[in-house]
Amino acid sequence: MTSPLPSSPYASVLDLAPVVPVVVIEDASDAVPLARALVAGGLPAIEVTLRTPAALDAIRAIADEVPDAVVGAGTVVTPEQVTRCVRAGARFLVSPGWTDVLLTAMRASGVPFLPGVSTVSEVVALLERGVREMKFFPAQAAGGTAYLKSLAGPLPQARFCPTGGIGPANAPEYLALPNVGCVGGTWMLPADAVAARDWGRIEELARAAAGLRSSGGTCR
């Protein structure tokens, strides 16, 4: 991501918290209480994925009603989605991969973005285009911490938010790497807690995830 967050003292989403919750919202009415629980637990950066029809309404509701949240859009794969998400109030964009067309649209949006990568060539191509912060996806399947550790030597200027297969057991290993700013995950949002609207449990899980910063993580 190449520009500061709007109305934020932080230069990057990677610097907000050690974990970015990756949220799939089926019912837009759950968006605000869920976001409030995550923020109360210490996880202000919230990635709402475009995997359900409720996603844009959820982004809009969080942007309007949860001022302490930094809501973003995930699974962004087209320029049209970039436009709709920013209009809905998304303050950052995350894609599972990238093309020049998508990258141009994300750059033109005026909000920070994390294009997805899983190979060295993709990382080098983004660095050539002036992008230094990326999503590493699918993290575990693409080589995990060993792969990212191998990238740190030849490509130290690249920073990553690994996502995919990460949970409380292996998140500290990722956060200990010098080229990892934060990780993305869903473990603080168990399906049964969301279905039961158990926002207190989600807040507790979020607080535990936020505490990973003090257990060896490098997110600043």
Q: Which residues of the chain have pLDDT under 70?
A: 1-4, 6-11, 213-220
Tokens of 201: 């449990």
pLDDT number for residue 161: 98
Q: How far apart are CA 214 and CA 51, in angstroms?
A: 32
CB 135 within 8 A of CB 163: yes
Q: Tell me the CA end-to-end span of the chain in Å, nearest whole number.
A: 16
Q: Is the dihedral of CA 165, 169, 172, 177 positive or negative?
A: negative
Any long-range contacts for 146-151 (C-beta under 8 Å, 24+ apart)? Answer: 148/174, 148/177, 148/179, 148/180, 149/177, 151/120, 151/123, 151/179
**Are the C-beta atoms of residues 8 and 25 closer than 8 Å to each other?**
no
Residue pLDDT, tens place only, 90-116: 999 999 999 999 999 999 999 999 999
The pLDDT value given to residue 40? 98
| Measured distance CA(22)–CA(91) in Å, rounded | 15
pLDDT of residue 1: 53
Residues identified as active-site? 47, 135
> How is 127-193 classified by DSSP, letter by letter?
HHTT--EEEETTTTTTTHHHHHHHHHTT-TT-EEEEBSS--TTTHHHHHTSTTB--EEE-TTS-HHH
Contact present, 106 and 76 (Cβ < 8 Å): yes
pLDDT for 8 = 53
Q: What tens digit of pLDDT does each residue of 136-156 get?
A: 999 999 999 999 999 999 999
pLDDT of residue 12: 86
pLDDT at 6: 57
Which residues have CB under 8 Å from 199's CB, separation 6+?
A: 33, 34, 36, 37
* Mean pLDDT (the chain, rounded): 93
Question: Do 206 and 34 meet the contact criterion of CB atoms below 8 Å apart?
Answer: no
Share of the chain above pLDDT 90, in %: 90
| Six token digits for residue 175 | 């956060």
What is the structure's pLDDT at 20? 98
